């Protein structure tokens, strides 16, 4: 034993005689001891003195004891006592002679399917009992499962457990709780957690003890969490080919990204695992599970591939030859057939197919670059300390802004380099606006104080997806529909024109609904008629115009119609504010005139009461002071301008606050990024038709 163990051995603490030190974890030290009153071996867990200096750590420690003390199950360690003695916080729990599931896999490698399934069934049985008592563990993993010498597993470490009905929230809003390798997506996003998060972690544990590998691995916890949230689950059959399909299916359903798509209770999983692990499933059922047919794959396997074409033919059909004259000279005198994916085709058709594949790869590459650039701009905006301030990231963390923002700009530049035409105004507009909106979205995200940049970035994306259909984002959808319609309206296809017109009208309706909501006014008929007339003219222009026209331009006309809808509701609001300002101004002028009149009368009376004489003794006749000028209220036009500025400022603050709280700005950034990708694909298709790239 070490000197520390020698010092502790033999001492009596809380009625337990310490025998030896078993280990040390994040919260404290665990000792093997003998409970003198119960005359049995127990574990004594002591909170580290350094951690005991903060009340939050004490609450975590005692919450573990309270959570576990509610539970009485053979697959959960039993808590006998907990409290404080001699300034130290302790938990006394049952002693398990054995090893953790983590150590067992490290020592033996992947466990046999039957043994691993038996262990998982017992774990789920313990979780079912905990969930029935409204206790969620939130940190199920192999190192928190002790396997006794009798082979029975027991769940330990309820330090992160939470009661569903618990009123006191001991974790900060937005804090990620759990271990990255086994953490559910909702925990990684710091979202609402329920019993289904434990089922996800149990599925990840099942994956680990069957394969000896983590479901998702990475160089950092953030990378692992990101994979849990966004990447598809690896097929365990590829890692361990002898894994039964039913086990792979159970893992896949346990580890669904969305909680509603998983098993809803531990009992459901136990019933399915027991059915397969007990051997009650018939051979016909098993064979039905292991045999399946994909018609497309079967057809290709049965097809007899023709002999490969000669290399000269491939060279002549190379679609990447840039010199058209050289390519024309390279054409064979007699056309030869060549195969692409086992299908015979002429050389020209093969070139087009390979060119389409090349374009598809470039489109996917461009999408990945722009999305990654948008994400980096979100992180740059989220690097500030004060939410809702665009200057906070530059003031508090300029290095992160320049590094992340510079990396995002570099990715957008790389995306531009992929374009057939290196600069187009529309593409540049969407790309710049997407980067700016992403930065603003990250800066305005309502993250908890002290949250790090990556957590705020994840929160921005999660809020954006959660509030996708929020009423605060109605104006965003109106903008989206207008921009999308403006891209389609000039196309020759009547289908695209019809979609553009429908999008214009839908966007106009959303603009009307957004500004009409909550407004206790009746729209002015003149503005309504003007908006309807502009929309009608825009509709006719969309049907007839195929080229740019300054007068009959559907984009300008529908933009004017939207502005008219805006003015239809804002002008009455401005007039209401102006009327109130005029009333206050008139009252102020009246009070000022009354005060001036009173002061003037006092001055006249004082002048009349005071008699003055000159040097010769003659009375001096004093003239009364001139009357004060009348104070006039401010002109109504000036008051209207003030009211308009105040209203627009309040409206902009309301919209920006609503978009910030719902992460609508993030949604705008993603849409603008998609529009830039649409422009890129259009350029690729145009170049493809003109054979500029092939």
Residue-range domains of the chain with CATH = 3-94 (3.30.200.20), 98-290 (1.10.510.10), 353-468+662-694 (no CATH), 471-608+630-661 (no CATH)
177-206 per-residue burial string, b: 16 or more CB within 10 A, e: under 16 = bbbbbbbbbbbbbbbebebbbbbbbbbbbb
In the chain, % of residues over pLDDT 90: 11
274-284: pLDDT as tens digits: 888 766 554 34
Distance (Å, rounded) from C-alpha 210 to C-alpha 223?
23
Cβ neighbours of residue 185 closer than 8 Å, sequence gap 6 or more: 200, 228, 229, 257
Asked whether 681 and 607 are in contact (CB, 8 A), the reply is no
Asked whether 427 and 413 are in contact (CB, 8 A), the reply is no
Distance (Å, rounded) from C-alpha 91 to C-alpha 156?
12
Cβ neighbours of residue 450 closer than 8 Å, sequence gap 6 or more: 172
The pairing of strands 28-35 and 12-13 is unpaired
515-539: pLDDT as tens digits: 776 555 666 677 778 878 888 888 7
Cβ neighbours of residue 242 closer than 8 Å, sequence gap 6 or more: 113
pLDDT at 659: 64
The separation between CA 451 and the C-alpha centre of its own chain, rounded to angstroms, equals: 15
pLDDT at 263: 92
140-150: pLDDT as tens digits: 999 889 898 88
Asked whether 218 and 224 are in contact (CB, 8 A), the reply is yes
Asked whether 426 and 432 are in contact (CB, 8 A), the reply is no
pLDDT at 205: 94
User: What's the pLDDT band for 693 if we cut at 50, 70, 90?
Assistant: very low
77-126: pLDDT as tens digits: 888 888 888 888 888 888 888 888 998 999 999 999 999 999 999 999 99
Asked whether 194 and 187 are in contact (CB, 8 A), the reply is no
**What are the tokens at 149?**
């010498």
Distance (Å, rounded) from C-alpha 132 to C-alpha 121?
16
The pairing of strands 135-136 and 162-163 is antiparallel
Cβ neighbours of residue 664 closer than 8 Å, sequence gap 6 or more: 464, 467, 470, 472, 473, 476, 658
659-674: pLDDT as tens digits: 666 567 777 888 888 8
Q: Name the least confident of 154-158, 196-200, 627-631, 660-664.
A: 660-664
User: What's the pLDDT band for 201 if we cut at 50, 70, 90?
Assistant: very high
pLDDT of 354 over the 70 cut? no
pLDDT at 520: 56
Asked whether 15 and 4 are in contact (CB, 8 A), the reply is no
Rounded (10°) CA dihedral 354, 355, 357, 363: 170
The segment with the largest mean pLDDT, out of 326-340, 516-530, 635-649, is 635-649
Cβ neighbours of residue 121 closer than 8 Å, sequence gap 6 or more: 270, 273, 274, 277
The separation between CA 39 and the C-alpha centre of its own chain, rounded to angstroms, equals: 54
581-609: pLDDT as tens digits: 888 888 988 898 889 888 888 888 777 77
CB atoms within 10 A of CB 259: 20
The segment with the largest mean pLDDT, out of 252-256, 308-312, 466-470, 502-506, is 252-256
Distance (Å, rounded) from C-alpha 551 to C-alpha 548?
9
pLDDT, average across residues 543-568: 76
pLDDT at 346: 42
**What are the tokens at 302?**
């049965």
Distance (Å, rounded) from C-alpha 658 to C-alpha 652?
10
- Say which residue the tokens 């026209």 belong to: 549
Q: What is the mean pLDDT of the chain?
A: 76
User: Which residue has better confidence, 327 or 250?
Assistant: 250
pLDDT at 547: 64
The pairing of strands 338-340 and 145-148 is unpaired
């Amino acid at each position: 034993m070490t000197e520390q163990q020698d010092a502790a051995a033999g001492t009596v603490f809380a009625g337990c005689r310490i025998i030896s030190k078993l280990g040390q974890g994040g919260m404290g030290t665990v000792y093997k001891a003998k409970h003198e009153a119960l005359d049995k071996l127990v574990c004594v867990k002591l909170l580290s003195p350094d951690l005991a200096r903060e009340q939050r750590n004490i609450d975590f420690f005692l919450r573990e004891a309270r959570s576990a003390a509610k539970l009485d199950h053979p697959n959960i360690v039993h808590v006998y006592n907990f409290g404080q003695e001699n300034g130290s916080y302790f938990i006394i729990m049952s002693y398990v002679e054995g090893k953790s599931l983590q150590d067992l896999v490290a020592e033996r490698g992947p466990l046999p399917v039957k043994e691993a399934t038996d262990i998982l069934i017992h774990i789920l049985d313990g979780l079912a009992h905990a969930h029935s008592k409204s206790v969620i563990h939130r940190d199920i993993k192999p190192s928190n499962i002790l396997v006794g010498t009798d082979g029975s597993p027991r769940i330990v470490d309820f330090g992160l457990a939470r009661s569903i009905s618990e009123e006191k929230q001991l974790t900060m809003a937005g804090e990620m709780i759990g271990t990255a390798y086994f953490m559910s997506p909702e925990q990684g996003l710091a979202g609402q957690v329920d019993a289904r998060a434990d089922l996800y972690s149990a599925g990840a544990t099942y994956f680990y003890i069957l394969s000896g590998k983590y479901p998702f691995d990475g160089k950092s916890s953030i990378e692992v969490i990101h994979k849990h949230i966004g990447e598809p689950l690896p097929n365990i059959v590829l890692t361990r080919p002898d894994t039964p399909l039913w086990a792979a299916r159970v893992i896949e359903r346990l580890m669904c990204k969305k909680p509603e798509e998983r098993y809803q209770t531990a009992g459901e999983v136990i019933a399915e695992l027991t059915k397969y692990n007990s051997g009650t499933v018939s051979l016909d059922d098993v064979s039905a599970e292991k045999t399946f047919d994909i018609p497309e794959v079967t057809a290709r396997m049965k097809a007899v591939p023709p002999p490969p074409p000669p290399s000269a033919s491939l060279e002549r059909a190379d679609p990447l030859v840039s010199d058209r004259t050289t390519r024309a000279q390279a054409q064979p005198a007699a056309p030869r057939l060549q195969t692409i994916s086992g299908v015979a085709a002429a050389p020209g058709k093969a070139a087009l197919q390979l060119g389409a594949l090349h374009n598809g790869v470039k489109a996917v590459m461009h999408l990945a670059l722009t999305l990654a650039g948008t994400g980096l701009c979100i992180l740059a905006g989220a690097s500030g300390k004060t939410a809702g301030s665009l200057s906070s990231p530059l003031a508090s963390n300029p290095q992160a802004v320049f590094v992340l923002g510079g990396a995002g700009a570099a990715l957008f530049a790389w995306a531009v380099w992929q374009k057939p035409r290196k600069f187009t105004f529309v593409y540049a507009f969407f790309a710049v606006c997407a980067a700016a909106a992403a930065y603003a979205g990250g800066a305005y995200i309502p993250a908890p104080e002290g949250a790090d940049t990556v957590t705020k970035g994840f929160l921005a994306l999660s809020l954006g997806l959660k509030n996708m259909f929020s009423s605060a984002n109605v104006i965003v959808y109106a903008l989206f529909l207008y921009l999308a319609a403006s891209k389609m309206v000039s196309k020759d296809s009547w289908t695209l024109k019809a979609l553009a017109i429908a999008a214009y009208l839908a966007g106009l309706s959303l603009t009307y609904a957004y500004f009409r909501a909550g407004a206790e006014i009746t729209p002015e008929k003149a503005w309504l008629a003007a908006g309807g007339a502009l929309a009608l003219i825009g509709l006719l222009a969309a049907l007839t115009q195929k080229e740019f026209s300054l007068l009959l331009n559907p984009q300008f006309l529908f933009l004017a119609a939207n502005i008219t809808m805006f003015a239809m509701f804002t002008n009455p609001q401005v007039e209401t504010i102006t009327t109130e300002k005029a009333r206050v101004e008139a009252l102020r002028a009246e009070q000022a005139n009354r005060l001036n009149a009173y002061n003037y009368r006092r001055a006249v009376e004082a002048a009349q009461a005071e008699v003055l004489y000159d040097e010769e003794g003659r009375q001096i006749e004093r003239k009364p002071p001139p009357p004060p000028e009348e104070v006039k209220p401010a002109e109504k036009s000036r008051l209207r301008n003030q009211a308009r500025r105040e209203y627009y400022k309040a409206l902009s603050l309301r919209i920006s606050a609503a978009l910030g709280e719902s992460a609508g700005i993030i949604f705008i950034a993603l849409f603008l990024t998609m529009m830039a990708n649409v422009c890129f694909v259009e350029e690729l298709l145009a170049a493809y038709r003109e054979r500029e790239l092939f």
